[in-house]
A and B are shown apart, each in its own frame.
Chain A
Amino acid sequence: MMKRMMIVLVAVSFACASLLMVTSCAKKQVKVEEGAKPAPAVTPAPTAKPEKAAPPKVEKREAAKKLEEERQARLRELERAQKLRAEIRAFESTNIYFDFDKSELKPEAQAVLEKKAAWLRAHPEYKVRIEGNCDERGTNEYNLALGERRANAAFKYLNALGISADRMTTISYGEERPADPRHNEEAWAKNRRDEFKLYK
């Protein structure tokens, strides 16, 4: 495989060199180019020479180059995965918050959802689970309904921004999963929220 690539490379450089010298019409260039491809097969002489002359050196260089390329590819892959993980983390850790006993989206929440919609559009392979939550005040049953309303509010907004309904599910946890277990206004404000969990 690598050998053939080298052959092609050499052939191409030959072709290029001849191209520089030839200053005729485009058709000829095409011809030369066409001729270049089968070149290694037809005239292996120029490439075969260095190969035979110093095969261990070239192979070494080839192997190193191959390894380096693989390493670079892995790094790029890693970087991409890291970036994706960071994006997913950011996506999942950015909640939207609600006022007491309300399920209307505030402008801040809408801005967050617009960013989420953009990300979801760019990553069509991901689906999102929207989890509605309430603060501890009030009753479980009412809060379960309120939590569902909060999840549905985000669902509808994302849907209106073009995210298909079959990529989204909702669940209400009512007051059962506080983000902050304390019993004060600061905690309650953190607990009246929608969380977003990505899955494939």
Chain B
Amino acid sequence: MEKKSMKFKSSSTSRILKVHNGTFLIGLLLTIVLFWQGDASARIFIDINAPSIQKIKIAIPDFRNLSREGENPELASELAGVVANDLEMSGYFSSMDKSAFLAEDKDALTQEEIHFKDWSVIGADLLLKAGYTCIGESVELEVRLFDVFWGRQILGKRFLGKAKQYRTLMHRVGNAIIKRLTGNQGIFLTKLAFVGTATGHKEIYVCDYDGYNLKRITFDRNIALLPRWSPKGDKLFYNSYRGGKGPVLYLKDMVSGRVKTVSARKGLNIGACWAPDGKSAALTLSEGDNPDIYSIDLEGNILRRLTNHWGIDVSPAFSPDGTKIAFVSNRSGSPQIYVRDLKKGTEKRLTFEGNYNTSPAWSSLNRIVYAGGEEGDRNIYTVSPDGSNLRKLTENQQNNEDPCWSANGRYIAFSSNRDGAYHIYIMNANGQNQTKITSFKGEQTSPSWSP
């Protein structure tokens, strides 16, 4: 149900432009780049690899209700609100305040009808116009995205969904816009699993990436920890003390809802990290004695021992190609992050600053994020697997822990107690746009991001 209808005018070679007070500022840090590709299939390109991103101003007026009986009028602002929040959360856009809108083209949906000057004068770079039609329980959406300066349509699509699940419908719209402007997959249909304490016990919960649609996953009334989405997002590893014998590893099938015990060895069975192929996992087993990292299959059989040291070895994280793991060891006297080449069997220390560096996670774009610091506040850092390019992403914001990547490697979810209790936050990979996602009762920690 998606129809493309794009029209573009004349062409030139690639051009960098920045709309700012109506003037061009060429060569700015951040820009909208227009690539003209001969046959008029132009694209605005957001360089999401830039070190910092200046936000594109997007105007999203309320959607036009095209339903025959005018049913569900509240959706006009609700639908616009969801996608505005999505684009805002992406870190690439700032959604403009509706009270600033001047244009009196409320019902205008097409390029011909829109008064682009009225949008340009308030500083909008992009304009999103949409109409929706409710038919029974379904909603049909017609969405058009315009480049205000050029007065051109750059995306035109139809979407069909259920009125009750309008957030999901709008996340699809948001993803289409991100795909169109960045060439990358959006994160708006992803989910976060985390540990919550609302009931007084630590249980596993899942919610949409933006904090909506909260669902409780475990009912163990004990201690449930360390949820980990499978690479396909269909399964979830977690630890629970529900049997009373320490942290046992369970695997929940998120489709059937079935839970099975994977590893219940004596002592620790913790921190399962999925191999990129989703067929095995690395985790810490102690057999009640010395914690080392092993790889196991999904039945819990040990495939291989990955570390062998008298020190504490925990928190494995696979490299995107599965040939290496980052992990935490206290072999030097304090917890530090190491990288082990699984083929060569070599190990290299990665972190040297601070006396407490833990929780590594390895992104699909080959960056390692971790929580580190001295004994005081803990912060989120990223570093390349060779130890270069170290960056501190949080500062003076109390404790920031448990970082994990979005599947596309562009975002980091983490927990922070900057507002008193621990809640889940997300931010861009460069540390910008730190946004609180969960404000549920109790504390929320240990996020894992679904694909």
Bound Cα distance from A148 to B335, whole angstroms: 15
Interface size on A, residues (CB 8 A): 20
What residue of chain A has the Cβ atom nearest to residue B445's Cβ?
A: A140
Which of chain A's residues has its CB closest to B195's CB?
Answer: A140
In the complex, residue of chain A having the shortest beta-carbon distance to the beta carbon of B356: A138
A6-55 at interface with B (beta carbon < 8 Å): none
Q: Hey, what's the 0/1 contact readout for B96-127 against A, CB within 8 Å counting as 1?
A: 00000000000000000000000000000000
Instruction: Report how far A100 CA is from B335 CA in the complex, Å.
Output: 12
Q: Does B447 contact A (CB under 8 A)?
A: no
Known: A101-B335, A101-B356, A149-B312. A141 touches B202 (CB 8 A): no
A residues 148-164 touching B (CB-CB < 8 Å): 148-149, 152
Least CB distance from A164 to B in Å reads 16
Q: How many residues of B sit at the interface, in one of the four size bands?
A: 20 to 34
Please tell me if B358 contacts chain A, counting CB pairs below 8 Å. Answer: yes
Q: Inside 8 A of B267's CB, which chain A residues have their CB?
A: 148, 170, 172
Please tell me which one of the listed residues B225, B226, B241, B312 contacts residue A146 in the complex, with CB atoms under 8 A apart: B312
Interface residues of A in 127-155 (CB under 8 A from B): 137-142, 144-146, 148-149, 152
Stretch at the interface among B156-164, B207-215, B284-292: B284-292
Assess whether A141 is in contact with B245, with CB atoms less than 8 Å apart: no
Cβ contacts under 8 Å, B131 to chain A: none
- B270 interface residue, CB < 8 Å from A? yes
Residues of A within 8 A of B223 (CB): 173, 176-177
**Contact A138–B335 (Cβ < 8 Å):** yes
A58 proximity list for chain B (CB < 8 A) = none
Contact indicator per residue, chain B 273-309, by CB within 8 Å of chain A (1) or not (0): 0000000000010101101000000000000000000
Known: A145-B284, A148-B286. A139 touches B225 (CB 8 A): no
The answer to the question of B359 belonging to the interface, with a C-beta cut-off of 8 Å to chain A, is: yes
Smallest beta-carbon distance A169→chain B, Å: 9
Question: Which residue on chain B has the smallest CB distance to residue A139?
Answer: B358
Q: Inside 8 A of A144's CB, which chain B residues have their CB?
A: 247, 268, 270, 314
Main secondary structure of the interface of A (DSSP, over half): mixed
Instruction: Indicate which residue in A145, A170, A176 contacts B312 across the interface (CB closer than 8 Å).
Output: A145
Q: Are B289 and A141 interface neighbours, CB within 8 A?
A: no
- Name the residue among A141, A144, A176, A177 with the largest chain B CB count within 10 angstroms: A141
Q: Is B61 an interface residue (CB 8 A)?
A: no
Residue A171 CB within 8 A of the other chain: yes
Chain A proximity mask over B323-350: 1 for CB below 8 Å, otherwise 0: 0000010100011000000000000000
Known: A100-B375, A148-B286. A141 touches B358 (CB 8 A): yes
B263 contacts partner chain A, Cβ-Cβ < 8 Å: no
Which residues of the other chain, B, contact A145 by a CB distance below 8 angstroms?
268, 270, 284, 286, 291, 312, 314
Chain B proximity of A154: nearest CB distance (Å)? 13
The interface residues of chain A lying within 8 Å CB-to-CB of B320 are none
* Besides A101-B356, A148-B268, 10 new A-B residue pairs in contact (Cβ under 8 A), listed by A number: A137-B378, A138-B335, A141-B271, A141-B359, A145-B286, A146-B312, A148-B288, A152-B289, A171-B246, A172-B267
Closest 4 CB pairs of A and B: A139-B358, A145-B312, A145-B291, A141-B271
Which A residues contact B (CB, under 8 angstroms)?
Answer: 100-101, 137-142, 144-146, 148-149, 152, 170-173, 176-177
A-B contact pairs, 9 of them (CB 8 A): A137-B378, A139-B328, A139-B402, A141-B328, A142-B312, A145-B291, A145-B314, A172-B246, A176-B202
